[in-house]
Amino acid sequence: MWEYSDKVKEHFLNPHNVGELKTANAIGEVGSITCGDALKLMLEVEQNSEKIKAAKFQTFGCGSAIAAASVLTDMLIGRTLSQALEITNQDIAKALDGLPKEKMHCSVMGQEAVKAAIANYRGEKAITNEEQEEIICKCFGVSENKIKKVILENKLTSLLEVTDYTKAGGACRTCHSKIEEMLEKINSSEKSVSNENTKKLTNLQRMRLVQETLEREVKPELRKDGGNLELVDIEGKTVKVRLLGACAGCKVANFTLKDLVGHKLREFVEPDIIVEEIKE
């Protein structure tokens, strides 16, 4: 029998923000009734500030799916779209004081719904499973791209964990060997990167890793909101950057530097790296 927190029970029995949001200008639909879980997330976004004014949901799923969608709408109201994109599935589970490991896929579905709704608001085409590289789990329609993303973001190491977070491999088992190959390949690569980063870096190594991380992990996220940044200088473990485009003078610039730029550099370069903004 699974153990549910009091918050999960509360949001399941008395879910918040349920129903249709007639003023919605951002709608994200993820999952499938055929596969057992589906979620429709509706947001009302203020155009000037890109702040989420209201949020509602409709879902077909278990108690955990209802609770995850309910707490997610509470988390979204009052945030900007950039801040909403920073919400991870772990944040959703944490807001519920945890989810049973077998139900973590409900939090992943919530994170996907946020990204789909924001893509809808911005006029971007949502990528469906059929358009992605390869469907690994045909029973639940789970793509290679999704499995890889969930493994990396949640540091998964076993087939059972992948099933808990994505449902992949939870039916006919045909995809088990492929998922295990992905786990071995991804975790071997991550371990190599981790071992490299624990060594004392030379100035040239640090500079290379900083540049690679900014290009791969940071700039693509900033460009989604019309922003960007420029690497100005590196002094020891202090990285100096200049915010550009929509990021320059933005009210949440400190948030961007601390929770996006700083977080990514500390994750992929060195744990004690410091980020400073150059404004002139």
Nearest to 219 by CA among 209, 229, 210: 229
Measured CA angle at 49 (ends 45, 54), to 5 deg: 30
Q: Which residues contact 75 (CB under 8 A, 6 or more apart)?
A: 87, 91, 92, 95
Catalytic option among 106, 137, 175, 247 = 106
Catalytic option among 35, 62, 139, 250 = 35
Residue found under tokens 């004392």: 200
Tokens at 5, concatenated: 């927190």
How many CB atoms lie under 10 A from the CB of residue 86?
16
Say whether 106 is catalytic: yes
Find the radius of gyration of the CA atoms of the chain: 20
Half-sphere exposure of residue 2: CA atoms within 13 angstroms, side-chain side: 16
Q: Rounded to whole angstroms, how far apart are CA atoms 148 and 262?
A: 23
DSSP for 198-246?
Answer: HSPPPHHHHHHHHHHHIIIIIHHHHHTTTEEEEEEEEETTEEEEEEEET
Tokens at 152, concatenated: 């990396």
Dihedrals φ, ψ of 7, to 5°? -70, -40
Angle between helices 176-198 and 159-166 (to 10 degrees): 100
Q: Catalytic positions, please? A: 35, 106
